[in-house]
Structure 1
Amino acid sequence: MANKIPHFPRFLGIGAARAGTTWLSKNLTAHPQIWIPRIKELHYFTRSAKYVGPSQLIDAAPLKRLFSRQKPYRQYRHVATKAVASNIVRPSLKKLMWDANYLLRAPSDDWYKTLFAQGYGRVTGEITPRYSMLDEVDIRALKALIPDLKLIFIMREPVDRAWSLVKYHAKRSRTPLADLSGEELRRRAFADVIGRQSDYEAILSRWRAVFAESQLLEVFYDEISEQPDALLRRIQSFLGVQVTGLADSDSRRKINGSFEEPIPHDLRAELVAHYLPMVARLSEAEGGYFTHWLDSYRGFAPVSLPAFVAHSSGVSTETVSP
């Protein structure tokens, strides 16, 4: 049958976490010419333990994933439990077959292709933010596997992204932020996995070293609030599907929001000092939203810092464009 023909995806969303990837998934899924698996983050290419917080598919043995007490396998069981519940509430043979294939078979390149068989005839893809952490060796392996792959990378101002992740995980664990000490908040905000996914300069350098500029679309979280319809049209054009824009007004809202709680001033100042040099270099190289982020750091870091001095003397901030 045609819908059983295995094929690799045409595009990947490679990050960043807490930067609008769920919004992207929802709006791409709504397009009739695009097909995305029902589980948003497949984690196939980040199975290696060298990536912080390894994939729930790190081991090829389903029994180990079912019974091991290690953290990745607890995540696997969480995904499996949600899949079972979904099939109980809204039974579907297609859902059941896809879930069984993803959860019970051993991962391999041939297996990965079968995850997109139900999307035959449409532009298929998946979104796993952790893919942004792939090293150049694995990016080259991915390019060899899928030479014509298209990539979408959403970036969010790194200080806000770090704080959003702190709030998100506190919400999931039902931990009031007021119960966390300043040092604990700092430890969480500076977690290695957050820093590595916010190092946009290094991420862009690695992916651009392997894939052509025409294969990588840079997107900014700011655009979701400021111009969501234009953003979605740009993404649809990049993927080569009919350009329709937003399906409905509800598609404008952000998804997976965390509770409102302002970041402590001292923590923001520390994070600004940490990310400012990178943002300044990206601002000088590309302008646009990077320059907008750099401007937002004023008041949280000394204006005498070299990044601000260089920015003030030679970079225009009148226009913010992607």
Structure 2
Amino acid sequence: MKNQSPINFWGIGAQKAGTSWLYYNLSKAPGFAIPPVKEFHYFDRDTAYPSPNYLSKTKVRDRLFSLSYLVKAGKSILASVLRGNWAHIKFSFKWYFSNYNDNWYKSVFQLFGGGIRGEITPSYSMLKIEDIKQMHIMAPDARLILMLRNPVDRAWSHFRHTKKRIKGFSLDNVENSEIISFMKEEGQVLRSDYTRTIKNFTSVFPKEQLLIGFYDAVIDAPEQLLEEVIQFITSTGGKGDDSLKTKDTNESGLNKVVNKSIELDCPPEVLAWLKENYHDMILDLANQYGGYFNKWYSETYSKSSENKDNRLFPTISMT
């Protein structure tokens, strides 16, 4: 690949749209050298972003006075030692005991040799243009993967995900107004605003460097989806690297459910609110691209868009 940066790709979202599945399978794909942490949250580390700001304290001296931080660092290093993985040991030391800056960020990927390198942080879908420009400066040729899911389903899965660690959680004592308030929060709204994400990233990166993949295809055609993503990442504007095929990956991983949310039925009032809120965006995407966007629109609203192309491709490019 012509990209001289140690970063070959970024997964930029969306949360609850198959990014954990993608990380799991790319980390096992031949030729890929993926760090042991899926989500770096480097470009959204500013506390102004409604996301986990793990790296907001850039100076290591500001972190060393936290006992919980040191315990977490020790557990990570010990786990790497027990696995006998030298690259992961070095990664853990760099992750916990370095000052965070662009040189640090690039150096982390260089720990993993000459493989295809990148990270997947779904919160990058929320980035402002100035932070996307920082990404472009760092790796102007990097490929961008944006996994999308029907925003009605994504929003409800997002809510369920936030309740995942509450033992025995149910909706019995939760008012619909409380759930709708969550749906109106900035972190949920920005993660579901696909039009904004596409517009912001393609205003900085060339459109041909962005690939959209579909959560639906994780279920319908996982092998084809993974192969198309791999071919896109490894291509340089032409044909991808034929030596990197999903036939060499762990086939059981293609059907593996990763980071599943708890099961809850969406209350009718909340569902009606979500449908109304996302109608125009889904219709616009369906009119423009067809495919799975059409499927979302027809299944959610029992209507057809102006675009009659109903072929369900696992991925689409912006070109």
Indicate the TM-score class for this superposition, using the shorter chain for normalisation: 0.7 to 0.9
Question: 1:171 aligns to what?
Answer: 164
Which of 40, 43, 47 pairs up with 1:42? 40
In structure 2, the CA distance between the partners of 1:81 and 1:22, relative to structure 1 (3 Å rule), is farther
Partner of residue 302, structure 1: none
State the match for 2:195 in structure 1. Answer: 201
The answer for unaligned runs of 5 or more in structure 2 is 235-240
Question: SS in structure 2 opposite 1:172?
Answer: coil
Structure 1 runs of 4+ off > 4 angstroms?
66-69, 76-79
Structure 1 residue 99 displacement after superposition: 0.4
Local SS of the residue matching 2:212: strand
Name whichever of 187-196 and 217-226 sits farther off. Answer: 187-196
Q: Paired residue for 1:221?
A: 215
Residue 250 of structure 1 deviates from its aligned partner by 3.7
- Give, in angstroms, the shift of residue 44 of structure 1: 1.2
1:251-293 C-alpha deviation (Å, 9 max, x unpaired):
2222111222211111111011011111111111111111111
Q: In structure 2, how many angstroms separate the alpha carbons of the residues matched to 1:203 and 1:129?
A: 11
Matching of residue 274 in structure 1 with residue 293 in structure 2? no
Identify the residue that residue 289 of structure 2 maps to in structure 1: 286
Cα 1:128/1:259, change in 2 over 3 Å = same
- 3-state SS of paired residue (1:59): coil
CA positional deviation for 1:66: 4.8
5+ residue gaps in structure 1? Answer: 1-5, 300-307
CA contact (8 A) 2:288 2:307 kept: no
What is the aligned counterpart of 2:255 among 237, 242, 252?
Answer: 252
Instruction: Name the CA distance, whole Å, in 2 between partners of 1:81 and 1:264.
Output: 43
Alpha carbons 2:17, 2:148 under 8 Å: kept: yes
Greater share of residues in helix:
1
Give the drift of 1:63.
3.9
* 2:307 is the alignment partner of 1:315: yes
Q: 1:287 to 1:79 in 2, by over 3 A?
A: farther
| Residues 293-304 of structure 1 aligned to structure 2 (within 5 Å) | 293-298=296-301
Which of 14, 31, 34 is the aligned partner of 1:33?
31
* Residue number among 112, 123, 147 corresponding to 2:116 in the alignment: 123
Name the counterpart of 1:153. 146
* Range 184-193 or range 33-42, more displaced: 184-193
Q: What TM-score, normalized by structure 1, do the two folds share?
A: 0.85
Match of 2:54 in 1: 56
Asked whether the 8 Å contact 1:56–1:65 carries over to 2, the reply is: no
Indicate the residue corresponding to 1:234 in structure 2: 228
Match of 2:264 in 1: 261
Could you list the per-position Cα deviations for residues 193-245 of structure 1 after superposition, in whole angstroms to 9, with x for gaps in the alignment?
11101100111011111111221111111110000011011011112243422
Given residue 311 of structure 2, which amino acid in structure 1 is its aligned partner? T
Decide whether aligned partners of structure 1 residues 36 and 79 sit closer, same or farther in structure 2, where only a CA change above 3 A counts.
farther
Question: In the superposition, relative to structure 1, how do residues 34 and 100 fare at CA in structure 2: closer, same or farther (>3 Å)?
Answer: same
Query: Deviation per CA, 1:166-211, whole angstroms, max 9, x where unpaired?
Result: 1112112335122322222222233221110110011101111111
Let me know the Cα RMSD of the aligned residues.
2.4
Percent of aligned positions that are identical: 32
> Offset at 1:28?
0.5
* Deviation larger for 250-259 or 81-90: 81-90
The one-letter code sitting in structure 2 at the alignment partner of 1:31 is: A
Letter in 2 for 1:316: K
- 1:218–1:134 Cα change, 3 Å: same
Distance in 1 separating the partners of 2:165 and 2:71: 13
Separation of aligned partners in 2, 1:234 and 1:34: 15
**Compared CA separation, residues 250 and 48, structure 1 to 2 (3 A):** closer
State yes or no: 1:185 paired with 2:179.
yes
Q: Distance between the aligned counterparts of 1:183 and 1:68, measured in 2? A: 37
* Structure 1 contact 15–153 (Cα < 8 Å) conserved: yes
- SS in structure 2 of the partner of residue 58 of structure 1: coil
CA contact (8 A) 2:17 2:149 kept: yes
